[in-house]
């Protein structure tokens, strides 16, 4: 029976908490949140002990693994506490807003040989496995990526707290592109503001477009938009244009291959979030960092690309990677 603790217990963690609670192989032992009432509410519903201090939780509850649901601006201290305690951790993306601190955390993880995993669930989709196979078989050239929708509120609309849409949301698309085409070497970007009326709070772009040059030779244009008012069903995905066919990935739904012979569509059949957590817990139990598909170090590489987009937006100049 694995003892599981949670750090950051907001709404986005509800599904993960329920999966752990329903698992016969896990026991929830602790919830930790800076908002004591949030931790207390989770304990009342799911059991365990409430904490507001991460180190006290790790020392007192002694979890075998931790799941983190922290907002982007709150990363750093919790990860370092887990490293010091030798506790494997899974965390929501993006892993940080400070690339240098993220690299230090990655070094600490590597020194300890600690199992970690980042919530890029696309890596676990069966249709993404098919997409990988088709990309390897073909010769990709130009790629269009996109995440087009409306705007959340709260901390999300402050760049210093969320990183903006490219960092907090479209990071799924940037990570998938990196996963398929390899490391990026240069980024250019342009943004738009004023589509959403100013309110004195919002300081992120309403939309942006980034051109990403990959070391493999592939060039991608990836757009983000959070100004749309008409329901779009969150259109997000990738269009990959290859020499002998085109691939259309619709976010977490399907992959369509079109060639001269016709079109074939594969629809998603698995629960990627459940498989991702199951994989992390199995890796933690086996002390096998190589089992997970997106360890912390790759989460750092993913957010580095999104942060490069922000730097290109701010400087209005191309940005070379690594940062």
Tell me if 298 is assigned to some domain: no
Tell me if 238 is assigned to some domain: yes
Residues 6+ positions from 148 with CB-CB distance below 8 Å: 223, 224, 225, 228, 232, 234, 235, 236
> Domain range spanning residue 11?
2-121+273-293
**Structure confidence by residue, pLDDT tens digits, 111-145:** 999 999 999 999 999 999 999 999 999 999 999 99
The answer to whether residue 322 scores a pLDDT higher than 80 is yes
**Structure confidence by residue, pLDDT tens digits, 94-107:** 999 999 999 999 99
Q: pTM to 2 decimals? A: 0.96
Count of structural domains within the chain = 2
Do 113 and 132 share a domain, yes or no?
no
Do 128 and 244 share a domain, yes or no?
yes
Q: Give the helix ranges, DSSP H, for the chain.
A: 14-22, 36-46, 54-61, 77-85, 99-112, 126-137, 159-162, 165-168, 171-181, 272-286, 296-315
Tell the burial category of 230 from Cβ atoms under 10 Å away from its Cβ (0-12, 13-18, 19+): exposed
């Amino acid at each position: 029976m694995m003892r599981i603790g949670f750090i950051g217990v907001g709404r986005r963690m509800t599904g993960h908490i329920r999966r752990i609670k329903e698992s016969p192989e896990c026991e929830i032992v602790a919830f930790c949140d800076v908002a004591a009432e949030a931790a207390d509410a989770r304990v009342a519903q799911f059991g365990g002990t409430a904490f507001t201090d991460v180190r006290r939780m790790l020392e007192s509850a002694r979890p075998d693994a931790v799941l983190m649901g922290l907002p982007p601006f709150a990363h750093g201290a919790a990860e370092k506490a887990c490293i010091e305690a030798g506790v494997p951790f899974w965390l929501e993306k993006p892993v940080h807003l400070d690339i240098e601190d993220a690299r230090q955390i990655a070094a600490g993880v590597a020194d300890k040989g600690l199992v970690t995993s980042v919530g890029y669930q696309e890596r676990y989709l069966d249709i993404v496995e098919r997409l990988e196979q088709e990309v390897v078989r073909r010769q990709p050239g130009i790629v269009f990526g996109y995440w087009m929708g409306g705007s959340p509120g709260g901390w999300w609309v402050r760049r210093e707290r969320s990183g903006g849409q490219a960092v907090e949301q479209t990071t799924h698309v940037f990570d998938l592109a990196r996963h398929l085409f390899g490391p990026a070497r240069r980024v250019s970007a342009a943004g738009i503001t004023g589509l959403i009326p100013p309110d004195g709070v919002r300081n992120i772009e309403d939309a942006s477009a980034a051109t990403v040059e990959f070391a493999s030779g592939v060039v991608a244009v990836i757009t983000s938009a959070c100004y749309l008012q008409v329901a779009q069903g969150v259109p997000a995905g990738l269009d990959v244009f290859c020499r002998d066919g085109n691939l259309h990935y619709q976010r977490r739904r399907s992959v369509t291959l079109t060639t001269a012979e016709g079109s074939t569509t594969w629809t998603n059949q698995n629960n990627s979030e459940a498989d991702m957590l199951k994989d992390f817990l199995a890796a933690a139990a086996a002390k096998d960092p190589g089992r997970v598909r997106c360890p912390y170090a790759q989460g750092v590489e993913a957010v580095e690309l999104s942060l490069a987009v922000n730097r290109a937006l701010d400087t209005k100049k191309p940005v070379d990677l690594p940062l």
